[in-house]
Structure 1
């Protein structure tokens, strides 16, 4: 059927999706059948991504080098993986943003959501301090090549890889590769590798913490639980599951429509800043790198529009369905993780011994993040400290889904507000975390800029963490 490369290119996307699907299936078999992985909390998508990385680097690249496989196959495969990682990040956030506000059994006040946001952002700040601080240390010790702007970008990728996951690490990696004046070659692979190390810290470090520190027997063997019994699949005023159009089709159409508006908005802003070349050079890459933020904001605005239309009677039924939106978000985030890990280019990490910085920064970052959240969550979440730590630590080293995975080991039926804390915290963190996003484009411009950024991050961290520790100080036992 495929007689030459031209016809193969036509089927390329389908074949690449086929590869990702097979990787996920094999990853699931390994996760369920091999005791070592079964007892861990390593997500199936991470295992699949590691398999994909081995497949690409051990099989595809050598075959391509020998001429057995078309060179374009590997190149296009990498481009495809980068596109999947970029777009699925925004699609997943849009799906979460369109969800109808759920009725919680345990109520939390509005101030609590701000505390959640401060917990998240203070951890971002701490990771940024570690990343930039260690990069400056390396620059003035045994890695003087880091004194240039691109090398300094390795540090700031820690909070993006750990705190915000592979999607944002990928986006900023792309930004740094085109950094002016000299791009950081391999920044995308470095960011994705940092995010992958975050998953390992979330899974292995999380299990270690629960088993050794909290003396809780956690193996991950019962992770695959049935959640449909505790989730509302539909409400009476929603559209039927299937009539002239399937309900799932409506959810997908809503997500794609919102993403279409998102892309148009970003395109319009890009054209607007292009009126001034200096502004364009500074902001254009950030606009396209923050597709998930624009997507989330527009999804929230769309949800407000739906509420208004319901109140005026112009729309009589509820179209978004939380259960299906959760499932769609799960699908796209699984694709994002497997694609992002597979997209790592091992050769990029071997350049200029950058793997040394990678191992040092990721190790210190993971250990300090665990210690900090251990101290903080037992103060902020006094009524459910273990659950609070599990969710926040899992999310702030991996993604929200990793946080849920770790949380389910100690709170399988979501009896505490810990799962809700992740959602409300992420929303408010967007506001509090704005300085980090600005610093991300400023710090790598030179040594002086990195030092200034380090000072700013430290001041903000002391302010945010100091407020949280003081506000939620533990009472001394009499």
Structure 2
């Protein structure tokens, strides 16, 4: 076995490279005053440094592989969500099913308003000045902003290879939207945080002050497994996360097998398959919640005497993988993708970004009145970038996840699959013809009003009572 062969070291070297840049970025952020005060997450800074290095062609040819960065982003997103979902914090225990439902509807409501804005813009542009666009291309806005580079690239590729109504450059267009979504999440989110600091609505925590004391009970409570015995406790946490992810893989593989048998026809292969694999983090979260429920039942039946998941250690796993996910996802951006369809792209992403922020700020103020800021910044980060950017921004205002905002991302993403999956199926219909694009627009407009009537039902009912 030739251990000196580069193939043995390629993946490790790239991960080590990200680690080096992350540590350097941490030093830069701490030592440079305006960066420390800017609330720019260290991982985001590291991501843009790696992106600059990649564009500058400084690294040896073949050392940095964008495809491997996409792999890291794909898997760490799911692993981080599993770790958060396995936690049993008190605010998770107290979270009602209605909180999960409302969080899911906030997420789906944002997808829907992005779809409405996207379709209105692309229908208008296609029928006027840009006939090389397609009317259904607006559905790539919720895929790029709401889902991220992977699903946006998958669906853009489907649009591009459509025989009846092909969208030339569809994959690049989807990736471009996802790329600028990161800019909205990182730059826009940070600017908003700095605005709040300037208005004295947010205090910047001094990083030199220890705000959390780690004592023995945090990592070894009375009813938990010991910190170290035949197997290390941290090893157990990693095993639990990987077992859940392994189960998730077999579920997706089974679903994929059914699709490939032709059970859903061409629609299954062209539209459902990319969504099944693109939503790996949602399936992973659902299975993590299922495993947690099974653990609870086993303890109630006295079959399992000790608690295996540890909240503190699972937090550390989530924090670690999210840091690497942020770096990898930003560094995977292809600047060349922004060179095509500039005017539609700029109009679509600008209007989409502004509308997304206004809607999330409006709805979070009413759905999460006790932690409006944390909910707004985390939801905005997730629904313009990915869950990783949402968590990165959240950690600037809630570094120890003391509010339920992080849990809402997890629980919301889980329940969003039930509400949003039928609507996301429309992504596979809108591009097929102008008529289907108009039908899809009508459906998402109706869905938007239905979702928000439910979310604002208490206020609407209260006003109705007062009026009468």
**Which TM-score applies when normalising by structure 2?**
0.84
| Counterparts of residues 102-141 of structure 1 (less than 5 Å) | 102-104=89-91, 107=94, 109-141=96-128
Q: Check 1:132–1:294 CA distance in 2 against 1; reply closer, same or farther (3 A cut).
A: same
Q: What SS does the aligned partner of 1:363 have?
A: helix
| Counterparts of residues 389-468 of structure 1 (less than 5 Å) | 389-400=376-387, 402-403=389-390, 417-418=404-405, 420-468=407-455
Question: Are 2:155 and 2:271, in contact at CA under 8 Å, matched by a contact in 1?
Answer: no
Q: Equivalent of 2:186, from 183, 193, 200?
A: 200
Deviation at 1:204, TM superposition (A): 2.8
In 2, distance between residues paired with 1:220 and 1:269? 46
1:346 aligned partner: 335
In 2, distance between residues paired with 1:174 and 1:15? 28
Deviation at 1:128, TM superposition (A): 2.1
In 2, distance between residues paired with 1:112 and 1:287? 25
Deviation at 1:51, TM superposition (A): 1.0
Residue 290 (structure 2) pairs with residue 301 (structure 1): yes
In 1, distance between residues paired with 2:63 and 2:135? 34
Q: Which stretch of the first structure deviates more once superposed, 255-264 or 422-431?
A: 422-431
Question: Are 2:282 and 2:413, in contact at CA under 8 Å, matched by a contact in 1?
Answer: no
Residue 83 (structure 2) pairs with residue 47 (structure 1): no
1:66 aligned partner: none
RMSD, matched Cα:
3.4
Residue 81 (structure 2) pairs with residue 93 (structure 1): yes
In 2, distance between residues paired with 1:347 and 1:468? 40
2:66 aligned partner: 78
Question: Are 2:43 and 2:327, in contact at CA under 8 Å, matched by a contact in 1?
Answer: yes
In 1, distance between residues paired with 2:92 and 2:135? 53
Residue by residue over 1:406-427, the C-alpha shift from the partner in whole angstroms, topping out at 9 and shown as x without a partner, is 5566667877655554444333
**Which TM-score applies when normalising by structure 1?**
0.83
Deviation at 1:173, TM superposition (A): 1.4
In 2, distance between residues paired with 1:467 and 1:235? 40
Q: Which runs of 5+ in 1 are unaligned?
A: 64-68
In 2, distance between residues paired with 1:215 and 1:260? 46
Q: Which runs of 5+ in 2 are unaligned?
A: none
In 1, distance between residues paired with 2:222 and 2:90? 15
Deviation at 1:390, TM superposition (A): 4.1
In 1, distance between residues paired with 2:100 and 2:140? 26
Q: Check 1:406–1:144 CA distance in 2 against 1; reply closer, same or farther (3 A cut).
A: same
1:174 aligned partner: 154
Deviation at 1:246, TM superposition (A): 0.9
Question: Are 1:173 and 1:190, in contact at CA under 8 Å, matched by a contact in 2?
Answer: no
